[in-house]
Amino acid sequence: MKNSLFAMPTCSPATSANANASASIRPDMRKFRALRVFALLFGLCGILSPASLLATSDILATATASGNSETAANSTVASRAARAARFPADPLESVMWVYMAERFFSDGEVIFDSRVSVVTPQYAEDQFYVPVTVDATALEADGHTVEQIVALADLNPIPHILTMEPHKASAFVGFRAKLQQSSPIRVGVKTSDGTWHVNGAWVDAAGGGCTAPAAAHGNPNWMRTLGKTRAIARRETDLLTRLSLRMRHPMDTGLAHGIPVFYMSDIKVKLEDGTALADVQLFEPVSENPTLTLKPKMAATDSTMKVFARDTEGNEFRFDLAVPAEISN
Amino acid sequence: MHLLKHSRRAFLKAAAGSCACALCGGANARVLKYELLASEVESKTWVVHGRNEYFSFENGGNIVNTAFIEVPEGVVVIDTGPSKRFGEQLLDLISQKIPGKPVLRVYNTHHHPDHFLGNQVFDPQIIAAPQGVIDNIEAEGDALTDNMYRLLGDWMRGTDSVAPTQALDASQENVGGRDFSLFYLSGHTSSDFVIRDNHTGVLFSGDLLFMYRAPTTPHADIGDWRQSLAMLRDTDRDLIVPGHGPGDEKGEAIDQTLDWLDWLDGSLRDAVERGWTMNEAMQLPIPERFNSIAVGKTEFERSVVHLYQKYEDELMPAIEIVQ
Ligand SMILES: [Zn+2]
């Protein structure tokens, strides 16, 4: 910002140099920037006609079914109906529901349950960063013990976003995901009786969140900041804390041209004595610079939480975080 | 859940409608008229007011203020609207109000697509903006145009992104016998251009000022924006024509824009410091004093996504890690 009204705003030479450098390194960079631009400005949907959506997903469903070692001939309407009958009808009417249920929720009874709150915007303003907050504490209030929270994007090329195990934490997790196209964000919460409590919401998104390179690759020195961490720990009640952490990582999906898969895969939070508070397994669709919000259960006498993180290349990052004894709102 | 499903259906239906129009062509295309009205806000100064809404097929992207001024030897145009079709209809309106005089100069206030996508209908040699605006249009104009097609369908037919050819850096220029003061600011985007007609005292602020409509932030830097507002407050003028919303003689547009930005900045800082998720921040209530500000809830939710990570990188404490 110039101090004079008459000063000419300078176009940052650093920025243009970076843009040129990255364009020569990666020809798809320009397209990637373009995609980011629309997402940022509008965040409105890739407008798919319902017909084209069904057609695409039908191909996907057939492809995945044969990938499941069934022959294409087996994927008849009748066998699909039989498979679908195992699960309740999907209130989100996703063409991928049965496949998602078979792949992720087949080891227990499946019910759609509004006690699983899945909060996400209706439109993805930026398809690289779609914020999601899952709160299944209503199940805990009804006496259930939550073992796992599994978050999926049905129509992503890689649907599994993350799995969180609240060993000694509220059934709560906040994260951001990349969306390849408009998709349901679906969350299954497994309780100790073996039941999957499922809920979710559709998010409309412009295309490309999973196949575009991470913004980090625009900076040639991105490796230097790998694992750089920011975090906040607060105490919400005598027994409950809130941890927000943000770690530098490109979270490469392996789907962007020429960039191999490389992502933060595990984040574990423990007490000083090693007691597990929460384990999070992250997958490719988690947004670049993964930012997680958890609510570990810690007594006022527990003053430190220990965080261990590891990525798919075996890089490990650990840190201790002091938790205040006083409650802050 | 039911609500969501219904609105999605409505949305797809609207989208299908726009696709149908794009396919069926000529005859139908002529139906899409913006019904532009010019109001003479000062002697020989007309403003074409857009609606205080977000882009939709219903409004065809006419959500923006454009303006034109009769100067002794011709016409000066400020911003050109969201599409080629808008540009054509704006040009018709100009020739009705100011018959027989040539357009001598077109200014673009910044690179947002509702402000410059009518450029195509004007002689490229007379379209002028600061170098920063030109650079932004060259870098992002095509992608912005693609998305406008997606949002507005046939309204956009034939529209291309055309960058200004004249890079300005002077503090004043005389166009056709009229002196204009030129201000090179930033904050709404990295390059925001403000123009004052020194004869009438009308100040065209572009999107640095919003009146009765929530400011948009996809390229915003709130610190820079505040400095620009302080400068605009100290700038002599008789009337402000904001980028969106009605004309303003008293500087209320400055107060409204600053009030919104201060609230947005404070709310997001507070949310990040509490460790809230973006979704939790989006649920903050909009204070009652903004009840008269259109699309507040929508723009606030968009702003959370635009700005939250910058605040996280600024406000969340850095932690020493052991590798
Ligand atoms: Zn703008």
Of residues A80 and A241, more confidence is placed in A241
pLDDT band at A290 (very low <50, low <70, confident <90, very high): very high
B266 or B5: which carries more pLDDT confidence? Answer: B266
A242/B contact by beta carbon, under 8 A = yes
Across the interface, of B143, B305, B318, the residue whose CB is closest to A126 is B305
Residue A29, pLDDT above cutoff 60? no
Which burial class, exposed, middle or buried, applies to A246 when counting CB atoms under 10 A from its CB (0-12, 13-18, 19+)? buried
Place of tokens 């540009």: B87
Mutation choice for A interface testing from B237, B277, B303, B304 by most A CBs within 10 A: B277
Asked if the model's pLDDT at residue B28 lies above 60, the reply is: no
All structural domains of chain A: 16-85 (no CATH), 101-322 (2.60.40.2470)
State yes or no: pLDDT of A51 exceeds 60: no
| Residue B72 included in any domain | yes
* 8 A C-beta contact, residue A72 and residue A62: yes
For residue B260, being part of any structural domain is answered with no
Q: What percentage of chain B reaches a pLDDT higher than 70?
A: 90
Model confidence at A34: pLDDT above 80: no
CA of B304 to the centre of ligand 1 (A): 17
Q: How confident is the model at residue A207 (pLDDT cuts 50, 70, 90)?
A: low
**pLDDT score of B236:** 97
Average pLDDT over residues B21-37: 59
Chain A segment 9-68 residues within 8 A of B by beta carbon are: 9-11, 16, 19, 33-35, 37-38, 40-50
Average pLDDT over residues A299-324: 96
pLDDT in tens, B156-195: 999 999 999 999 999 999 999 999 999 999 999 999 999 9
* Structural domains counted in chain B: 1
pTM for this entry? 0.83
| Residue A89, burial from CB neighbour count under 10 angstroms (0-12, 13-18, 19+) | exposed
Query: pLDDT digits over B210-268, tens only?
Result: 999 999 999 999 999 999 999 999 999 999 999 999 999 999 999 999 999 999 999 99
Check residue A192 and give its pLDDT: 98
Instruction: For residue range B296-305, list pLDDT tens digits in order.
Output: 999 999 999 9
Does residue B322 lie in a domain region? no
pLDDT at position B147, please? Answer: 81
Domain assignment of residue B97, yes or no: yes
Higher per-residue pLDDT: B133 or A218: B133
Please name the amino acid found at residue B122. F
The residue count of chain A comes to 329
Whole-angstrom CA distances from B202 to A5, A33, A69, A212, B73 are 17, 37, 72, 45, 19
Residue B13, pLDDT above cutoff 60: no
Q: Which residues contact B21 (CB under 8 A, 6 or more apart)?
A: B28, B29, B32, B153, B154
Which residue, B301, B70, B96, is CA-closest to B178? Answer: B70
* pLDDT above 80: residue A134: yes
Domain containing B68 equals: 2-249
Tokens describing residue B278:
């973006």
A1/B187 CB distance under 8 A: yes
Among A150-154, A183-187, B28-32, B41-45, the minimum mean pLDDT is found in: B28-32
pLDDT of residue A284: 97
CB pair distance less than 8 Å for A1 and B282: no
Instruction: Give the mean pLDDT of chain B.
Output: 90
Q: Which residue has the higher pLDDT, B27 or B169?
A: B169
Interface A-B, measured as beta-carbon pairs within 8 A, has a size of 192
* Mean pLDDT, range A115-119, rounded to an integer: 98
Give the confidence band of A24 by pLDDT, cuts at 50, 70, 90.
Answer: very low
- Tell me, yes or no, if B292 comes closer than 8 A to chain A by beta carbon: no
A16 — phi, psi (to 5°)? -70, -35
Please state, in angstroms and rounded to a whole number, the distance separating the CA atoms of residues B22 and B15.
11
- Whether residue B305 and residue A7 make contact (CB cut-off 8 A), yes or no, is no
Q: Are B80 and B118 spatial neighbours (Cβ–Cβ below 8 Å)?
A: yes
Query: pLDDT at position A76, please?
Result: 64
Please give the ipTM for the structure prediction.
0.85
| Long-range CB contacts (within 8 A, 24+) of B15-20 | B15/A45, B15/A47, B15/A49, B15/B153, B16/A49, B16/A50, B17/B57, B17/B153, B18/A47, B18/B57, B18/B152, B18/B153, B18/B154, B19/A47, B19/A49, B19/B153
CA separation, residue B54 to residues B207, B244, B248, B301 (Å):
14, 11, 21, 13
CA–centroid distance, B123 to ligand 1, in Å, is 23
Residue B207: partners with Cβ closer than 8 Å, 6 or more residues away: B109, B110, B112, B115, B188, B189, B192, B215, B216, B242, B243, B244
Strands of A264-271's sheet in order across: A110-112, A196-203, A183-191, A146-153, A160-165, A276-282, A264-271, A304-311, A316-322
Average pLDDT over residues A260-276: 97
Sheet of B202-210, strands arranged across: B172-175, B178-185, B192-197, B202-210, B239-244
Query: At a CB cut-off of 8 Å and minimum separation 6, what does B218 contact?
Result: A40, A41, B302, B306
Please indicate whether residue A33 or residue A311 has the higher confidence score (pLDDT).
Answer: A311
**B283 within domain boundaries:** no
The Cα B216–Cα B139 span in angstroms is: 20
**Pairing status of strand A169-177 against strand A291-296:** antiparallel
pLDDT by residue (tens digit) across A227-244?
999 999 999 999 999 999
Looking at residue B56, what is its pLDDT?
85
Q: Does residue B4 belong to the interface with chain A, where contact is any CB pair within 8 Å?
A: yes
Pairing of strands B127-130, B166-168: parallel
Would residue B235 count as lying in a domain?
yes
User: How far apart, in whole angstroms, are the C-alpha atoms of residue B54 and residue A217?
Assistant: 33
CA distance A126 to B303: 11
In this predicted model, what pLDDT tens digit does every residue of B85-101 receive, in sequence order?
999 999 999 999 999 99
CA of B216 to the centre of ligand 1 (A): 7
> What pLDDT is stored for residue A69 in this prediction?
44
Contact at CB, A33 and B146, closer than 8 angstroms:
no
Q: Take residue A208 and report the two structure tokens written for it.
A: 């490309």
Would residue B183 count as lying in a domain? yes
What is the DSSP track for A132-195?
EEEE-HHHHHTT--EEEEEEEETTSSS-EEEEEE-TTEEEEEEEEE--SSSEEEEEEEEETTS-
Please give the share of chain A, as a percent, with pLDDT higher than 70. 76
Backbone angles phi, psi at B36, to 5 degrees: -70, 135
Residues whose CB is less than 8 angstroms from the CB of residue A296 and which lie 6 or more positions away in sequence, other chains included: A168, A169, A240, A241, A243, A269, A277, A278, A305
CATH of residue B127: 3.60.15.10
User: What is the DSSP annotation of A195-248?
Assistant: -EEEEEEEEB--S-TTTSPPGGGGSTTGGGGTT-EEEEEEE-SSSBEEEEEEE-
pLDDT at residue A193 greater than cutoff 70 = yes
Give the pLDDT confidence score for residue A80 in this predicted structure.
73
Distance B208 CA to ligand 1 centre (A): 8
What is the Cα–Cα distance from B179 to B160, expressed in whole angstroms? 31
Question: Rounded to 5 degrees, what are φ and ψ at B135?
Answer: -60, -45
Candidates B1, B276, B321; nearest CB to A227: B321
In the prediction, which pLDDT does A74 show?
52
Tell me the residue type at A147.
E
Quick check: B130 and A242 CB within 8 A? no
Q: Give the confidence band of A75 by pLDDT, cuts at 50, 70, 90.
A: low
CA distance B304 to chain A (A): 10
Q: Does any domain span residue B311?
A: no
Reported residue count of chain B is: 323
Residue of B123 and A14 predicted with greater confidence? B123
How many Å lie between the centroid of ligand 1 and the Cα of residue B192?
A: 9
Look over chain A and give the mean of its residue pLDDT values, rounded to a whole number: 80
